[in-house]
Amino acid sequence: MRVNTKKIADWDDDRILYNFDEAVITRYADLEFYNSLSGEYVNVTIQAFFGDRTGLLHLQSRQRLYVEYPSVSLNETLAPCSFLVDANATFVAPPFTELWGTRSTFAGQIIGVDILGIQEGADVRFTWTAQTGRIAVDLTVNTLTTPGNMSVPFMVVKKGGRLTFVRNTGDVSRSELFVEYMGQTATFSLTRRT
């Protein structure tokens, strides 16, 4: 599948399973999938990502994306696009995940990531509804954090990369967090004015 404009995958009104060998998302294009009319979770599997870092895959509530998972050969993904993961959506990725996109926002669940790399030029934002979780041997999710709490064993923000926690009222749990020369990390709290 190649996307270089706004694309909505709508092949079937009640489709709950999409499976792609590869996705090429370029030139600030947005790719999103319709939700099922029956209210079931929509499952999307993409085995390989290609792009110029500007394209965006939008995962809406009640949608689950399997990014190159399970990958038999490398057990990693180097996704050259951005992700917009809404609250109540699930992003399942290999243990080693490098984010290259210039406008990623995670408000839902991030599952299976042990090593998270924020690459040069990447801009990644986690909101107060984001959660992380581990995958058990039987591929079920265990140890899901409470909303607003992130638990990734190893995170690296490369030079020129940006990692932002927006109104993260909980804790950031990590074994190691490295911010390389000229990398950025920030925490913001949003308040409402009346």
70 located within any domain: yes
Total domains present in the chain: 1
Confidence of residue 35 (pLDDT cuts 50, 70, 90): confident
Q: Rounded to whole angstroms, how far apart are CA atoms 82 and 89?
A: 15
193 located within any domain: no
- The residue segments making up the domain with residue 53 are 2-188
* pLDDT tens track for 125-141: 999 899 999 887 666 77
Q: Which residues, at least 6 apart from 145, have a Cβ–Cβ distance to it below 8 Å? A: 131, 132, 133, 151, 170, 173
194 located within any domain: no
* pLDDT tens track for 56-89: 999 999 999 998 765 545 677 777 899 999 999 9
59 located within any domain: yes
Confidence of residue 183 (pLDDT cuts 50, 70, 90): low
The pTM of the full predicted model, rounded to 2 decimals, is 0.83
Q: Rounded to whole angstroms, how far apart are CA atoms 192 and 190?
A: 7
Residue 172: count other Cβ atoms within 10 Å of its Cβ: 17
